[in-house]
Amino acid sequence: MFEQTEILTVSELTRQIKLTLEEEFLQITVQGEISNFKPHVSGHWYFNLKDSGAVISCTMWKGNNSSVFFTPQDGIKITVTGRITVYPPRGNYQFDVRSMKPAGIGELQSAFEILKQKLSNEGLFNEEFKKPIPSLPCRIGIVTAIDGAAFRDMISIARRRFPLVELVIAPSKVQGSGAAENIVESIKTLNRKKDIDVIIIGRGGGSIEDLWAFNEEIVVRSIFESKIPIISGIGHEIDFTISDFVADLRAATPSAAMEIATPDKADYFAFINDFLYNSGQNITNLFDNKKNRILDSIGSYGFKMPLDLLRRKSQQVDGIVYKMSVNFDKQFLMLKNKLSLLSKSLESHDVKKTLEKGFVLVKQDSKFITRSSKFISGKETQLEFFDGEVNLNS
């Protein structure tokens, strides 16, 4: 029991309480329900741990919370191990958490259902947002652990079914601390590439704790926001994660996901063989039909005497040409005679011819005088002879 021998300052008293509590509760394990959980931008976690009778403030530093495989949520019962510390500036004690785990499988399942319902209410699972899976992909992105059996199985299936496909690997942790962040970054990396046709997110089976990274909200939202269609192949057929609900297509296993993503080369070979056979038969039938039609046409009446038919048509053409030639000659002669008559008529009315005979043209004021009554005596007059003009002054 502490016995006071002198008057203490507040700081001294707080220091004594701090030493007592921190030495007495150096390593303890406590169970309670999370409330007021706040992740700080620094990476530290601040929250309360409560039961029906009391509440204690908790902190969990970034270096410790990086080993927690799930993201804490209000209302989840957890078991934490750590020590009691005192924060002198405020004079209150708090629990410095060193490790954290769900109080039981039921608590993880509860967190699963809470997040699932929240995202469902937002519409993230609606069919209208599901992107179609391409039937003939050229490049498939894979998000998984490259040291796992699931990865080897997917590569083997791709080589067997469709060797032409190119696999683009974005390695990622798939369980434990940091797995959710790794998965998100891998999805974003593949989305930054412009030639990925489909992405497979996969890992082998395991407990609910092992698969929990695929139940994290950041992973689920990353899948929803992906511009590239995503197939989820997580765990075994009986395993379901929230990522399966938001993915564009859910496969029972990673191997099944690759089966869905790749066409079977055997199907294409069978299609090509059938196509070649059917095409050959169709071409043969087409040639036979055309051949029969030609033979039928050659045997018809129109082809029995083609030379006579050609001569008859040629004779008709000759008759038409002859008629056109005769008609042209008649028209040409008629026009020639008409032109000759017109030419002679023009010659008979030629003024020069008249003047040549001794006639004279009389002009006054640049006008021809055609009657004696129009002649004005004493006015300047021009006389035009065949061989020139004479001016008479008044």
* pLDDT tens digits for range 164-187: 999 999 999 998 878 999 999 999
Interval 76-84 mean pLDDT: 88
- Examine the domain organization and report whether 133 and 228 are in the same domain: yes
- Examine the domain organization and report whether 96 and 134 are in the same domain: no
Contacts of 178 (CB under 8 A, 6+ apart): 66
Q: Identify the CA nearest to 21 among candidates 98, 95, 84.
A: 84
Question: Is the pLDDT reported for residue 201 higher than 70?
Answer: yes
Question: Is the pLDDT reported for residue 2 higher than 70?
Answer: no
Q: For residue 326, what pLDDT is reported?
A: 83
Q: For residue 307, what pLDDT is reported?
A: 64
Which of the two residues, 224 and 75, has the higher pLDDT score?
224
**Tens digit of pLDDT for each residue in 343-363?**
777 776 677 777 777 777 777
Which of the two residues, 289 and 151, has the higher pLDDT score?
151
- Examine the domain organization and report whether 201 and 93 are in the same domain: no
Q: What percent of the chain has pLDDT over 70?
A: 94
Determine the Cα–Cα distance for residues 229 and 239; give it in Å rounded to an integer. 21
- Examine the domain organization and report whether 131 and 52 are in the same domain: no
User: Which of 214, 242, 265 delimits the end of a domain?
Assistant: 265
Determine the structural domain holding residue 37 and report its residue range: 10-103
Examine residue 113 and state whether it is found in any structural domain, yes or no.
no
Question: Is the pLDDT reported for residue 225 higher than 90?
Answer: yes
Contacts of 33 (CB under 8 A, 6+ apart): 49, 50, 51, 75, 76, 77, 78
Q: For residue 3, what pLDDT is reported?
A: 62
For the entire predicted model, the pTM comes to: 0.57
Interval 381-389 mean pLDDT: 77
Examine residue 71 and state whether it is found in any structural domain, yes or no.
yes
Question: Is the pLDDT reported for residue 394 higher than 60?
Answer: no
Examine residue 19 and state whether it is found in any structural domain, yes or no.
yes
Question: Is the pLDDT reported for residue 315 higher than 90?
Answer: no
Looking up residue 83, the CATH number of its domain turns out to be 2.40.50.140
User: Which of 214, 249, 265 delimits the end of a domain?
Assistant: 265
User: pLDDT band at 232, cuts 50/70/90?
Assistant: very high
- Examine the domain organization and report whether 131 and 85 are in the same domain: no
User: pLDDT band at 312, cuts 50/70/90?
Assistant: confident
Looking up residue 224, the CATH number of its domain turns out to be 3.40.50.10550
Examine residue 96 and state whether it is found in any structural domain, yes or no.
yes
User: pLDDT band at 214, cuts 50/70/90?
Assistant: very high
- Examine the domain organization and report whether 143 and 254 are in the same domain: yes
Determine the Cα–Cα distance for residues 109 and 20; give it in Å rounded to an integer. 39
Determine the Cα–Cα distance for residues 54 and 93; give it in Å rounded to an integer. 14
- Examine the domain organization and report whether 144 and 192 are in the same domain: yes
- Examine the domain organization and report whether 53 and 156 are in the same domain: no
- Examine the domain organization and report whether 176 and 80 are in the same domain: no
Examine residue 214 and state whether it is found in any structural domain, yes or no.
yes
Interval 3-27 mean pLDDT: 77
User: pLDDT band at 134, cuts 50/70/90?
Assistant: very high
Q: For residue 337, what pLDDT is reported?
A: 86
User: Which of 232, 265, 298 delimits the end of a domain?
Assistant: 265
- Examine the domain organization and report whether 72 and 134 are in the same domain: no
User: pLDDT band at 196, cuts 50/70/90?
Assistant: very high
Q: For residue 47, what pLDDT is reported?
A: 92
- Examine the domain organization and report whether 56 and 138 are in the same domain: no
User: pLDDT band at 154, cuts 50/70/90?
Assistant: very high
Examine residue 339 and state whether it is found in any structural domain, yes or no.
no
| Residue 142: count of CB within 10 angstroms of its CB | 28
Q: Helix H segments across the chain? A: 10-24, 62-65, 105-122, 149-161, 179-192, 217-225, 242-246, 254-261, 265-298, 306-348, 351-356
- Examine the domain organization and report whether 165 and 245 are in the same domain: yes
Interval 7-22 mean pLDDT: 78
Q: For residue 374, what pLDDT is reported?
A: 77
What's the mean pLDDT when you consider all of the chain? 84
Number of domains in the chain: 3
Question: Is the pLDDT reported for residue 242 higher than 80?
Answer: yes
Examine residue 142 and state whether it is found in any structural domain, yes or no.
yes
Mean pLDDT comparison of 23-27, 131-135, 356-360, highest-scoring range: 131-135
Examine residue 303 and state whether it is found in any structural domain, yes or no.
no
**Tens digit of pLDDT for each residue in 55-65?**
889 999 888 88
